[in-house]
Amino acid sequence: MVNWSSFFFLVIPKRPARDLFDADEDSVAAVARMVQRVAVLLDSIFVPEGITILQSNKAAAGQDVFYYHVHVIPRLQDDKVSISYQVVEGLDLADVARRIRAADTNVI
């Protein structure tokens, strides 16, 4: 059986960008299409139990290589790969929704 936790695949745009915020829309769309193609191929060829798609922006989010890229990670149920986060308790979702609605709609 393949140890999926020992490797992953990267999808990198043709046009360099520091992160998602720096990438142009066409590059982001092209990367998304390729991520899907890579995931489908991995799923059909190697038949992992799951696939994680991961993309981080800025150091606080875990980005340690500063070019826009997406990880495609084949997974097994108990592969010991740890991707974790903490759920924010007491978050005022109505306030979050208000702030998003009030934001410059050209950003979204």
For the chain, how far is it from start to end, CA to CA, in angstroms?
44
CATH top class, domain 4-81:
alpha beta
Q: What is the pLDDT of residue 83?
A: 78
Q: What is the pLDDT of residue 55?
A: 96
pLDDT, tens only, 44-58: 988 999 999 999 999
DSSP three-state, residue 50: strand
Give phi and psi for 50, each to the nearest 5: -170, 170
What pairs with residue 72 in β-bridges? 9, 53
Distance CA 74, CA 90 (A): 34
The closest of 57, 53, 55 to 73, measured between CA atoms, is 53
Name the pTM for this structure: 0.79
pLDDT, tens only, 64-99: 999 999 999 999 898 887 777 677 788 888 888 788
Distance CA 28, CA 12 (A): 10
